[in-house]
Amino acid sequence: MKMTIEVDCTPEEARRFMGLPDVSALNDHMVGEMRKRIDANINMLNPEDFMKNWMSFGTGAQEHFRKFMDVATPKK
């Protein structure tokens, strides 16, 4: 015998029913913190600044990047 039970409820209702803690305030805080950090570091997306930072590490960084690309590139 096979029985299927379908429950129609919101995520909030399911969370309360299962006795799980409400982490929405923590989630909002974490998202806000991530947003602040992204905004503070958005200049890293500027290609010119990125290359200046990259080149300041010298040839070692270039070699690591080449190895990374070799590993990340799918082989045929």
Write the pLDDT tens digit of every residue in 26-66: 999 999 999 998 888 776 677 777 677 767 666 677 777 78
Please indicate, yes or no, if residue 49 is contained in any of the structural domains. yes
How is residue 30 annotated by DSSP? H
Please indicate, yes or no, if residue 55 is contained in any of the structural domains. yes
Please indicate, yes or no, if residue 24 is contained in any of the structural domains. yes
Q: Is the pLDDT of residue 75 over 80?
A: no
Q: Count up the domains in the chain and report the number.
A: 1
Query: Token digits for 23?
Result: 């982490």
Please indicate, yes or no, if residue 31 is contained in any of the structural domains. yes
Please indicate, yes or no, if residue 1 is contained in any of the structural domains. no
Residues 6+ apart with CB under 8 A from 20: none
Please indicate, yes or no, if residue 3 is contained in any of the structural domains. no
Please indicate, yes or no, if residue 51 is contained in any of the structural domains. yes
Residue range(s) defining the domain that contains residue 52: 11-72
Query: Token digits for 55?
Result: 């080149």
pTM: 0.44
Please indicate, yes or no, if residue 2 is contained in any of the structural domains. no
68: enclosing H helix or E strand: helix 59-72
